[in-house]
Structure 1
Amino acid sequence: MNTRTSRSMVTFPHVFVLPGYPEELPAGDYEVVTDEERLQGLSFEAYRRTATYLTIHGRGKHAGRIELRPVSERDIELAISHGRNIPKDINDSEAALSPQEELK
């Protein structure tokens, strides 16, 4: 059976969690690895996704370690959309502050 692997990048705008993993992951760019197998017996070339992984680079005492975490495309979409729904911090509000008056 013929297989192929493709790689793409996804950006998470805020910290996020993945189902099945307890810790939060930092915002940033992550590589997504997708494995597919070729479907046999068709009159055209077609592939079926067999696995999707998110590449996690170790931090702190695990620096230099790379982990491939199995995820679904839905997990990735939910993590990205959750980041879009996080309310802005109060310090990021667009309300204007009045300048302090100079004391004489």
Structure 2
Amino acid sequence: MGAVRRKYTPQYRRDAAHLVIDTGRAIRAVADEIGVGEQLLGRWVAIERSRMDEPPPAVDLNERAELERLRAENAQLRMDREFLKKAAAFFVAENASSQTPRSQ
């Protein structure tokens, strides 16, 4: 029977790779510290570095149109909210002035 192969989550692999990338420490030192093989950690570091160099995915035309529509809707809702805030303040002031006793 062979040794049981350990499985690591993608998040663990990224975190381990960033221990090397972000701190500038040697792969060997980090591998010894976290208890993984040096070559294995080296592969994770190489994969993460190549992933970091990739440009972000482009937004397609449908997503861009939806984004523009949502931005316009957001701007309209902000204007509506500002108007309602001013209207509420006006009516509160009107109500307060009509409830004050008048001197005779």
Same fold (TM over 0.5): no
Give the greater-gyration-radius structure (CA): 2
More strand by share: 1
Question: Please, what TM-score do these two structures have when normalized by structure 1?
Answer: 0.28
More helix by share: 2
Question: Please, what TM-score do these two structures have when normalized by structure 2?
Answer: 0.28
Q: Greater relative contact order: 1 or 2 (C-alpha under 8 angstroms, separation 6 or more)?
A: 1
